Structure formats: C-alpha cells, structure tokens
A and B are shown apart, each in its own frame.
Chain A
Amino acid sequence: MTPKFRHSPPFLALLIFMFAMPSEAHAAKISELVEVDLGDQFVRFFSLQDAAIRHILLGCLFMGINFGLLGSFVVVRRMALVGDTLSHAVLPGVAVGFLFTMSKEPWAILLGATMAGLLGAATVSWIQRSTRLKQDAALGMVLASFFAVGICLIKMIERIPSVNRSGLDHFFYGQAAALGRADLWMMGGTAVLSTIIVVLLYRPLLATSFDQVFARSIGLPERMLFHLLMLLLALAIVVALQAVGALMVSAMLITPATTAFLLTKRMHVMLCLATGLAIAAGMLGAFLSFVGEGLVSHTLPTGPSMALCAGGFFLLAFLFSPHHGLVSRYRRHLSQTRQITVENTLKAIYRAMESDRFKEEGIAVRRLAGDARETFEETMKRLRLLVRDGLATFASARGEVIYLTPEGLQHASRVVRNHRLWELYLTNEADYDADHVHADAEKVEHILGEDQVMELERYLDYPEQDPHGKRIPSLRDTQRLPLRDLAVKEEEVEP
C-alpha cells in the first residue's frame, strides 16, 4: 500500500480491500495518472473539467432518477426480488446484442437486454401459472439460469479472436467511466420517461400498488399499469447495467428506496428521498472508485462502491432515523426506564407521607431506603433524579431528609391515583383477587393516559378507596395540592 493511503477515510480502505483485489476488470481508465494525490483527484472530479467525469455524473443523475422512482414502487409492492431477477436475467441479452453486431453497440445491447429481461419476467409468471411453485422459487430459478446462460455466452465471446471485446466485464461489475454518449442518451431518455409517467400516473400507480383488487374494482387498468412499471423497470436496469453492473443493479434499485421507506410515511416524499439518495450514492460511489483507482494499481469497478454507499446511507438511516432509528429508540427506552424509576420513587415518598397521615412534610432518606430494602446510596441515587427534575429537594446539607416540591406532590398523586384506580378496576370488573392486582397496576400506572384515567374513573363511578382501603387521590389533588388539605381528607377517610 502506498503511504498516501493513510489520508483516506477508513471506509475507503475497506472498500479498496474488498473490491480491488478480486477485480479483473480491464476498464478504460479515467485517469492515466500513475502518481496521484487525493486532493488533486478531488479537485479533478468536482471541477467538472474532464468530459469523462461529466459523463459519469450525468449518468449517476439519470440512474438515480430511474432507480429512486421505480425502486420506491418496487419496494412498496414487495417486488424487490423481481428487480434482482430482472437485473440478472438481462445478461444473456447483452451477449446476444453484442454477438449480433460484434461490437459494444449500445442500441443492440439495449434491445437484446430488454428482450431478455422481459423473457425472464414472462418465464417467472409462466412457471407460477403452470406449477404450484410460489413466486420466490420461480424468481430464484430464473435469476440463476438466465445469469448462467449470460456468463457462458460472454465467456464464449471473450474467446472469439479479432473482436474488440473490451468492456464486457463492465456488465458484471459496472464502470461508470465507460459510459459513452449513446449510453447517456438512453439513460436520459429513460429517466425522462420514468419521471413523466410517475408524475402523470402517480395516483393510479399508488392505488394499484396499495390494493390491486380494489383498483381493478373501480376500473383502473391495473394490469396495464403493472406492465408499464415492469417495462420501465427493465429499461432502467438495462441502461444502468454498464455503470453499476448486473451484480449490483438491484442494490442500487432497492437500497435507496428502503432507506427512504424508513425515513418517511408518505409515498411522494419517499419517491423524492429515494431519488436523492440514489443520485447521491451513485455520485459518491463513482467518486470513491475514481479516487481508489488512483491509489491502487487495479481499476476499481463502480458498481460495488455505489452499492456500498447506498448501504452506508441505509445504515445511517437505520441508526439515526428520528422515529424508528436504533439510536432514538434506545434513547426513548432509556428515558422511559428513567421515568418509571422517578415515578416509583415519588410513589414511595407518597406512601411514606400517607402513613404519617401527611402530617410530616419531609421524609428521612434512611426510612425510604429501609422501605425499599436498598442501601442508602441507592436510594440517594434515585432521589437525585427527582431533585434534578425539580420534583423534590433535600432538606439538610447532608441530604438526609427529602421534601416533595408542589410539582412533585402533584405528580406523585397522579401516579398513586392511576395505580389505585387500576387496582380497583381489576378487582371489580375483571374479578381479580385483591392480592393479585398490585403487580399489574405497577406496570399500568406509568402508561395510563389522562383520558383513559378519566374514563376509568367515570366507569368506576368516582370511587374514593382502593381495594386495600386506601384513599384514591382525586383529580383535584393531582392538580393543586396544599399538604394540609391532604391531611384533612385523610382524616375523613379513616373513621
């Protein structure tokens, strides 16, 4: 490895390690440079002076539009495997198109590959219709057998002498730099077509994707829209084949769309996000492969690095997406756990105050520790959470006595109220025994909402005592709270 390697991010290191080694691609090189510097490469790539690089970026843009739009529909229709199969099934068509003209003629390859893709799709539905096999099995078979035919044909072509067969490997691994003018025209044309169709037919496409049977029942041409989508998909895959390679096309089709699916709940937002992500993954992948090419002696295919970038975006969304991300879920879990600790501690203080008939305002920490059968330090740790939330204060400098603040007392009343109402509900309505209800109420008290509690109370006809004869704090107690009032009410309950 060259010393310059140290400048690159660890991600790039991994990328190069994984893909530079086995690559046998004899790509047309973007740069003829032998000695390159990462900074130079960066400038070279993004200054857009190089026509080849403009081609690459344009190709990524078109591909991103195609795969973002069509990939979103593929994902929500649960057709991800169909995309994968199509992208492998087109390979024999590439070879036939090549054999037909004996050169890498874009139009011939487009035609051959599209035909092969559609033939593959037809084979899948034929297998499904004429056997009891389910779609996944049919897809798997077609994918493997068509791809095998493709490999054999291409290996044959490589043995034909006197044919310029350079660049056939790109159809496996992808090389964005190999995109020619004609390729770009076809990619651009497909992107325009996809955009027009998705924008014009957005609603019918949405309805047929969500509920096919209903869509047909209102007279939408469900089959026609489905075939249109499949045709566009086949075209999008074929025109992207050189840039991404048959092996990685489905990653670029599916991954940006699934990432977008994690991030939004609306289809139109998903379409835009997926498109943006696919474009970004394509460009970043092309850039990394371009830079990597300078750093290692082999050429680096673009397909895997694009797929890795798309995968990287997915990982980020999976970890950090605001609602379902792993990180925010873990945070929520932590804060829930903390909330439960706080509420249980409040309840313990309330109980201690209650057994003093609310005559003492402060409760000794040692006593709480004794009640909870834990060490002084453990109790202090829990109490400090209350203090931090402004629910309680320590009395002495040594922190031996805890006082609830007005907010603390309100909150404590609320928890106790939930707990006791729920216990009463279980004993009265669900025929639980009085000594069985406590554990359940321990859980439920933290999750009952305001409305539910009021409903519960109405349902129980505004009860005053729980099954164990303790007073249930009323709604007013949980809203305002002079301690003296509580003490008075306590007197009323106990005869």
Chain B
Amino acid sequence: MTDPTSSSQEIVLETHDLTVAYDKKPVLYGLDVSIAPGQLVGIMGPNGAGKSTLIKAIMGLLDPSGGWIKIFGESNTSQRKRVAYVPQRREVDWDFPVTVMDVVLMGRYGHLGLFRRPGKRDRDIAMEALEKVNMIPYASRQISNLSGGQQQRVFLARALAQESDLYLMDEPFVGVDAATESTIVDLLQDLRSQGKTILVVHHDLPTARQYFDSLILLNLRLIAYGPVEEVFKEELLQRAYGGRLTILSEVADATGEKSKVDLSAKR
C-alpha cells in the first residue's frame, strides 16, 4: 500500500509562493509552508482568511494562480490516494438517500476506480472506520436522521476509510457535541501516533493550544507558522485577527467555561 520510499524525514507537504485566486482576485498570497510528518497542525485565522481555500488548493480542487504545492515530493494531484479530505459538513445535502455505511464506503472509491465494486476488504475497512468513531450502531441508518456530531463522525469515518497518510479537515469541531469533540480529539491523536500528518481548520483559540503541535496563522497571507508555543503570541494573533479583539482576555474567559456536562443537550 504505502510507498516504500517514504521515510520519516520526508516532507509531507510543501508549498512555495502559493497564490490562489477566485476570478483573478487572489485570496491567498505567496504562502510558504513545509510540514514534517507525524504532526497535528491547526490552521487558524478569521472568517474569509482563506483557510478553506488553502485546503482546497492542497487537495487540487482549485488551481493555484502562482507558486506550487508538493505532497510527498510530488505534484499534489498525483498523490490523491495518499490524501484524505474532510469537507465542511454543511456543504452536502443530508437528505440524500444513502445510509451511513454507503457514505463511509465512498472513502474507498478512490482506490476502486470507476468500475470496480467494493469487496469484503473494503467493507471491513469501512466497518473499522465506523468503529473508530463509535458509529457502528448507525451503519445502516439513513443519514438524514443524524445529529450534527454524528454527521461529522460519518465524514471522519469516510476519510479514515481512505487509509491516507495526510488528512485535511475543514472545521471538524464546528457545531458538534462534547462527546463528538472528544472522539475527534482521540482520533487525531491516534492518527498522529501512527505517523500520519493532519491539518485541521480550527476556530476556537483556547482549545487550539491543547490540541495542536503547530499552528498556521493565516489572513490572506501567512502570518506565522511554527510550534504552538511560538505562534500563540498576542502580537501574532493580533495581526491575524486584526484590531477587533482582545484575544487573550477572551481566551482566559473561555478556558474557564469548558468542561460542563449537559445531559439535556444530548436528549
């Protein structure tokens, strides 16, 4: 499965002078990052900073208008089987007539090509992925009956079923319940311990510090990239988020609010 030439020193993802534009209007300018394997990387920045755009460009869903992207030293579009993508949950129609299992199996389609049907091995892999996100009991449910957190788990399971080496997740923590959040965190750490690399678009500053090894701070340009301790500085955050916040006091407030059990919210 895995390319035998891949060693742990290899750079997983490298962008050079990456510029991405919609209709000739650039929303990401000259981005240089290079990410080593086995890292949990947070991508942070205000709304419209270009976080989703960056992920889509890495996935080869948008063509850069300048610069280049390399994944495992090769062009990004040639490495599709080694990269898994978790899109934002609200981008799809959850009334679609498929079951949870059907969706997770779609994670295998990239390996199957156009005409091959999923076999027993693919089903086993899909089941294992469902198990990792605690969704086995829902395998044959239609997706429209799922809560937000469950929908997110389905998307994660689909990505797990891809058996990739690099994972790109767009806001997996948005609108999920506490139980799902902790499942996701466990999952991310589990993936990292297997030597996988994960990039996660994240919104919540207080938890960012806890969850990630390094941070990419973005606002149309790269503001900072490095280990969390180095990036989590008031002046850098201020530069990313602009004048409109007193971040550190917000962080202080929010850290106190965590860890409340809410039984009624689980219904």
Known: A78-B93, A204-B114, A265-B97. A219 touches B87 (CB 8 A): no
Central interface residue in A200, A215, A265, A430, by most chain B CB within 10 Å:
A265
Known: A76-B96, A200-B115, A203-B109. A216 touches B61 (CB 8 A): yes
Q: Is the CB of B85 within 8 A of A206?
A: no
Which of A414-460 touch B at CB < 8 Å? 425, 429-430, 455-456, 459
Q: Is the CB of A210 within 8 A of B106?
A: yes
Give the docked Cα–Cα distance between A206 and B97 (Å): 10
Q: Which residues of B contact A425 (CB under 8 A)?
A: 263
Known: A211-B91, A217-B59. A459 touches B115 (CB 8 A): no
Indicate which residue in A209, A217, A267 contacts B85 across the interface (CB closer than 8 Å): A217
Indicate which residue in A78, A204, A269, A430 contacts B109 across the interface (CB closer than 8 Å): A204
Known: A211-B91, A218-B109. A270 touches B263 (CB 8 A): no
Name which residue of chain A comes closest to B93, CB basis: A78
**What secondary structure prevails in chain A residues at the interface with B?**
helix
Q: Is the CB of A266 within 8 A of B97?
A: yes
Known: A425-B263, A456-B263, A459-B263. A214 touches B114 (CB 8 A): no
**B-side interface residues toward A, CB under 8 Å?**
56, 59-61, 80-81, 83, 85, 87, 91-93, 96-99, 102-103, 106-107, 109-110, 112, 114-115, 117-118, 142, 144, 158, 162, 263-264
Is A296 interfacial (CB-CB < 8 Å)?
no
A selection of 20 A-B contacts at a CB cut-off of 8 Å is A200-B115, A204-B109, A207-B109, A209-B96, A210-B103, A211-B106, A213-B87, A213-B91, A214-B158, A215-B106, A215-B109, A217-B83, A218-B85, A218-B110, A219-B80, A221-B114, A265-B142, A267-B97, A425-B263, A456-B263
Q: Which residues of B contact A455 (CB under 8 A)?
A: 263
Q: Is the CB of B92 within 8 A of A210?
A: yes
Is A118 interfacial (CB-CB < 8 Å)?
no
Give the docked Cα–Cα distance between A250 and B150 (Å): 36
Is A261 interfacial (CB-CB < 8 Å)?
yes
Q: Is the CB of B91 within 8 A of A265?
A: no
Name which residue of chain B comes closest to A201, CB basis: B114
Is A220 interfacial (CB-CB < 8 Å)?
yes
Q: Is the CB of A210 within 8 A of B109?
A: no
Q: Is the CB of B264 within 8 A of A270?
A: no
Q: Is the CB of A261 within 8 A of B97?
A: yes
Which of A180-228 touch B at CB < 8 Å? 200-201, 203-204, 206-207, 209-211, 213-221
Q: Is the CB of B263 within 8 A of A219?
A: no
Name which residue of chain B comes closest to A217, CB basis: B85
Q: Is the CB of A214 within 8 A of B142?
A: no
Q: Is the CB of A266 within 8 A of B98?
A: yes
Q: Which residues of A contact B83 (CB under 8 A)?
A: 217
- Total contacts A to B, CB within 8 angstroms? 87
Name which residue of chain B comes closest to A210, CB basis: B96
Q: Is the CB of B59 within 8 A of A210?
A: no
Given A218-B106, A266-B102, 4 further pairs, Cβ under 8 A: A207-B109, A218-B85, A264-B97, A267-B98
- Closest Cβ of chain B to A384, distance in Å, is 34
Q: Is the CB of A206 within 8 A of B98?
A: yes
Name which residue of chain A comes closest to B162, CB basis: A218
Give the docked Cα–Cα distance between A78 and B95 (Å): 11
Q: Is the CB of B263 within 8 A of A429?
A: yes
Give the docked Cα–Cα distance between A455 and B263 (Å): 9
Known: A78-B93, A219-B110, A429-B263. A210 touches B87 (CB 8 A): no
Q: Which residues of B contact A215 (CB under 8 A)?
A: 106, 109
Q: Which residues of A contact B91 (CB under 8 A)?
A: 211, 213
Q: Is the CB of B263 within 8 A of A220?
A: no
Q: Which residues of A contact B61 (CB under 8 A)?
A: 213, 216-217
Name which residue of chain B comes closest to A129, CB basis: B23
Give the docked Cα–Cα distance between A203 and B102 (Å): 10
- Closest Cβ of chain B to A302, distance in Å, is 30
Name which residue of chain B comes closest to A447, CB basis: B267
Give the docked Cα–Cα distance between A218 and B162 (Å): 9
Known: A78-B93, A204-B114, A265-B142. A214 touches B80 (CB 8 A): no
Name which residue of chain B comes closest to A267, CB basis: B97
Nearest 6 interchain pairs by C-beta: A218-B110, A265-B142, A217-B85, A219-B80, A217-B59, A207-B106
Give the docked Cα–Cα distance between A455 and B91 (Å): 35
Q: Which residues of A contact B142 (CB under 8 A)?
A: 265-266
Give the docked Cα–Cα distance between A206 and B85 (Å): 18
- Closest Cβ of chain A to B21, distance in Å, is 15
Give the docked Cα–Cα distance between A154 and B64 (Å): 49
Give the docked Cα–Cα distance between A269 and B59 (Å): 33
Q: Is the CB of A211 within 8 A of B109?
A: no
Q: Which residues of B contact A266 (CB under 8 A)?
A: 97-99, 102, 142
Q: Which residues of A contact B97 (CB under 8 A)?
A: 76, 261, 264-267, 269-270
Q: Which residues of A contact B56 (CB under 8 A)?
A: 213
Give the docked Cα–Cα distance between A425 and B115 (Å): 55
Give the docked Cα–Cα distance between A271 and B93 (Å): 18
Q: Is the CB of B99 within 8 A of A265?
A: yes
Q: Which residues of B contact A210 (CB under 8 A)?
A: 92-93, 96, 98, 103, 106
Q: Which residues of B contact A459 (CB under 8 A)?
A: 263
Name which residue of chain A comes closest to B107, CB basis: A218
Q: Which residues of B contact A217 (CB under 8 A)?
A: 59-61, 80, 83, 85, 87
